[in-house]
Structure 1
Amino acid sequence: MGSLTQTTKRAPALFVSHGAGPFAILGAPHQQPLVELCKETRWVLDGAKGIIIVTAHWETDQPHISSGTEPEIYYDYFDDLAKDLPKEAWEIKYPGAKGDPELARKIKEKLDKDGFEAVLDDKRGWDHGVWVPMLLLRPQADLPIVQVSIPSGADAATEKSLKLGRSLEAFRDEGYVILGSGSSYHNFAAVIDSIMGVPGAPPVPSNRPFEDAMEEVAKISDADEKCKKMAKWREDFPNSEAVQPVGSSEHFMPFLVNIGSAGDDVGQKLGEWELFGTIMTSYVW
């Protein structure tokens, strides 16, 4: 890492619950609260040098880093969604957006120094965990983006996700936002019928107690204490198996990366939105 200049401002860490598939970009009414929340919080990216985005839709054993100059768009939709999507879902673009191969190289260098075996991938495209939040937060596409995978293994990746965040924190001091793109709620099976408009879809139980536990940890100032509390999320957070089912908690891992990247900063809940009775949140540090 290069030495800091007097003009370098520590960039924020940001967590975004990125919604369901492409629906926020397609204008679905049930995703409109997410769209509005992102519009209201666009200021978080102002002044950033670039974005390091950790997406729930790219899982690898060791961190992989997108190193292409102009990554293509991936239309990576769940099969249950894909079969009923309109053609517009396959035509979404993020025009003007660029990668940053030099930043990708620096990230690999830092992660390797911290005990990872990071891999540069100049072919990797941007999945919807990248382009959904970026289209909503930064439609002008004027910030370079490097995409980083989350550790595979769902719950078993908890400690590695926290470690990844702690390693990436240094880039905030270089002016790069660490953006975790996932979901504070991700029981897809419980909510898919409502999303797809199936008549008589059952109500989804509230995840408010789980959200309250997230906020409590986010607001801890001490970095070590934050990570210690977060490491026990599965055992300690209320109704964790209903909110983030065992074996498919990958959408929660970006939040853990953000907790690791927060350092001693105190988190603030930027806002929340509701999806058929469930709560989705965004945080900044």
Structure 2
Amino acid sequence: MTQPALFISHGSPMMAVQQSATSDFLASLGQTLSKPRAIVVFSAHFDEAHDIVITSGDAPHTIHDFYNFPKPLYEIQYPAPGDPKLANTISEYFYKAGIKTVKSADQGWDHGVWIPLRLMYPTANIPIVQVSINTRLGAQATYKYGQLLAPLRSDNVLIIGSGGISHNLREIFKSPATPNRVQMVNEFTHWVEQKLIAQNTQALLNYLNEAPHALFNHPTQDHFLPLFAALGSSDGKVEKIHEDIEMDILALDAYKFY
């Protein structure tokens, strides 16, 4: 069975305890997909400066990597198993491409993994492997990572990029707000959608120079880069499967790649 690849905007950690349009979407998404034998996740919150790190533990722990949120959030566990064999396979794909990796048996699931997957697959019985991103290398490198792992999709492995289609947290809490901020988010997300549908990969890879208001929507690149892992693992065909906005400018679009 061949799985699609997904890009998911995982939003605020509060999505783990508050119902929303996006939490409802993620819960329904898990029910509409064929069950994968394993899931590979590129998360915005696993950004490594040097080597590519691949989780290789049998039972990684749940990381509560956020601050000043309600206590119930810190009590949530997502005990999905790891998949050391799949981690070895992923490492071999990178090795054959001349790329060094490090396998970590201690790395756990950050909230870019467990918050959406807990909604999609609440029974936590599908093995997961995380692969780090590197914001210092940028879109082209992340796209290549997706290309290297593309064969896994035909082996019933679901590849997910977990980030945010826009992610300017400072602006959310800024007072006074930037006057045209809603327009800037809309123009950026519309540009992304247009380029994805047109399969204009080169424009997307050059988004920092070509996309309108790229740095406003992504002052740091960590939440956008996972999109390129999903895109790279596909042949470019894409379907927009969700659209939502929270707090005026936190865009939560999701895409399915084939």
Task: Report the TM-score, using the length of structure 1 for normalisation.
Answer: 0.83
Deviations 1:153-176 (A, max 9, x none): 1xx422111111111111111110
Q: Which residue of 2 aligns with 1:88?
A: 72
Structure 1, unaligned runs of 5 or more: 1-8, 194-199
Q: Is 1:179–2:160 an aligned residue pair?
A: yes
Residues 33-182 of structure 1 aligned to structure 2 (within 5 Å): 33-43=21-31, 45-60=33-48, 61-77=50-66, 82-83=67-68, 85-95=69-79, 97-153=80-136, 156-182=137-163
State the 1:212 CA deviation. 1.6
CA distance in 1, matches of 2:215, 2:135: 18
Change (3 A) 1:281 1:91: same
Residue 23 of structure 1, aligned match among 2, 14, 19? 14
Q: Which residue of 1 aligns with 2:177?
A: 202
Structure 2, unaligned runs of 5 or more: none
CA distance in 1, matches of 2:146, 2:34: 21
State the 1:144 CA deviation. 0.7
Contact conserved, 2:135 with 2:225, CA < 8 A, in 1? no
State the 1:186 CA deviation. 0.8
Change (3 A) 1:133 1:201: farther
CA distance in 2, matches of 1:126, 1:47: 20
Question: What SS does the aligned partner of 1:284 have?
Answer: strand
Q: Is 1:190–2:171 an aligned residue pair?
A: yes
Contact conserved, 1:184 with 1:252, CA < 8 A, in 2? yes
Deviations 1:40-92 (A, max 9, x none): 32245423111001111011223210000100111111xxxx13x22112111
Q: Which residue of 1 aligns with 2:239?
A: 268
Deviations 1:97-139 (A, max 9, x none): 1110000000000111112101110000111011011011111
Task: Report the TM-score, using the length of structure 2 for normalisation.
Answer: 0.92
Superposed CA RMSD in Å reads 1.7
Question: What SS does the aligned partner of 1:59 have?
Answer: coil
Contact conserved, 2:135 with 2:221, CA < 8 A, in 1? no
Question: What SS does the aligned partner of 2:2 have?
Answer: coil
CA distance in 2, matches of 1:160, 1:265: 17
Q: Which residue of 1 aligns with 2:205?
A: 231
Q: Is 1:13–2:1 an aligned residue pair?
A: no
Q: Is 1:253–2:225 an aligned residue pair?
A: yes
- Return the letter of the residue paired with 2:27: K
- Return the letter of the residue paired with 1:242: F
CA distance in 2, matches of 1:44, 1:192: 36
Question: What SS does the aligned partner of 1:41 have?
Answer: helix
Contact conserved, 1:69 with 1:99, CA < 8 A, in 2? yes
- Return the letter of the residue paired with 1:92: I
Contact conserved, 1:103 with 1:146, CA < 8 A, in 2? yes
Identical columns (%) = 30
CA distance in 2, matches of 1:217, 1:120: 35
